[in-house]
Structure 1
Amino acid sequence: MTAIEQGASAGDVTEADAVQSRTRGIVFWIVRYLPAEIVGTAAMILAGIAVTIWTDSPAVIALAALLGEIVGFYTVLAVTIYAEQLQVTPAWRTAIARTGLLLLAEFGVAEVLDTVLIRPAALMLGIWLLPDPVWGLLAGKVAADIVFYSIAAGAFTLTVKAGLRDGHRSEERVG
């Protein structure tokens, strides 16, 4: 355990401890979200390209891509969070309920803003600016993901601090 994780004062924390803590944080986010991102991106591209058979409308392509990404992304995350919650409670019904609650707590606000405003605009802009729809979808996705993860990471941190992830309320841990 690093000095940061042990709650050492700022004067006790070395630069090496800070770098190690940041590295662990980055690895955690990559392990947590990369599988969902891969599946979501593949589903986005497949859905977006599939509708180009019928239309070249950036709005329709963006909508199909958006729906494909949502289904792919949240399918993987639902399985991931459900597996985490089975460690907290062996009752599968409770684990399913907690999974839904945690998905809503972690992604609810980010997803509403993302789905209604940010991602459709970013995907349409990418398709409009770049002649190849695949590159346009990918460029729009990256731009939207930056905003999405800024919001979702903050919400995830709040669910951890509130004790929602481990089945305990934060007051119970304080002392």
Structure 2
Amino acid sequence: MTAIDAGSTVRLETATADAPKRRGLLFWVIRYLPAEIVGTAAMIVAGLAVTAWTDVPALIALAAIVGESLGFYAVLAITIYAEQSAVSANGRNAVVRTFMLLVAEFGPAELLDTLLVRPAALTLGVWLIPDPVWGLLAGKVVADIIFYAVAAGSFMITAKTGLRERRAKEQDS
């Protein structure tokens, strides 16, 4: 390794070590946008599908919540598994770490969101806005603001405590 290569390696290692401290808007967009797109599409499809059987805002909101959750977490499970497969000794450990990190990052936000904020916001949106698509989208925006405030805080805690980057050796002992 040449002196230039060694210097590049040190800078790269330093940049990687500092990465959890510097989370700009681009990081959050790249991290959550694919899950948001799939989750929103699933929310609209599920919410509209239920309107074929009922026009009760609470039932439309419930179907939309289930659809959005399935789409959103399917994408995030794949994303986190890809991150964790690089720091896990085997596939089983990556799956366990993925589940643990999903719960750590989204558990507190999801409890507040699923039990209180999202049902109220989506129901209110469908009730106030006659078009169910626009009502669901309006409620989603309100709920997402609160959800991401809590989830981003949880992500930063898992990153600052080293929970995301621990090597498999540390986890297996």
How big is the shift at 1:167?
Answer: 1.2
Letter in 2 for 1:109: P
The residue number in structure 1 matching 2:51 is 52
Q: Distance in 2 between matches of 1:66 and 1:45?
A: 10
The residue number in structure 2 matching 1:83 is 82
Q: Distance in 2 between matches of 1:89 and 1:27?
A: 26
The residue number in structure 2 matching 1:97 is 96
How big is the shift at 1:90?
Answer: 4.2
More RCO (CA 8 Å, sep 6+): 2
In the superposition, the TM-score normalised over structure 2's length comes to: 0.83
The share of aligned pairs that are identical, in percent, is 67
Letter in 2 for 1:94: N
Q: Distance in 1 between matches of 2:128 and 2:166?
A: 46
The residue number in structure 2 matching 1:118 is 117
The residue number in structure 1 matching 2:127 is 128
The residue number in structure 1 matching 2:5 is none
Q: Distance in 1 between matches of 2:30 and 2:160?
A: 20
Q: Distance in 2 between matches of 1:58 and 1:124?
A: 5
Structure 1 segment 2-151 matched on structure 2, within 5 A:
25-151=24-150
How big is the shift at 1:89?
Answer: 1.4
How big is the shift at 1:86?
Answer: 0.6
Letter in 2 for 1:162: T
Letter in 2 for 1:152: A
SS at match of 1:88: coil
Deviations 1:16-68 (A, max 9, x none): xxxxx98x611000000000000000000000000000000000000000000
Q: Distance in 1 between matches of 2:111 and 2:55?
A: 26
Q: Distance in 2 between matches of 1:75 and 1:125?
A: 27
Q: Distance in 1 between matches of 2:130 and 2:144?
A: 21
Letter in 2 for 1:125: L
SS at match of 2:100: helix
Q: Is 1:160–2:128 an aligned residue pair? A: no
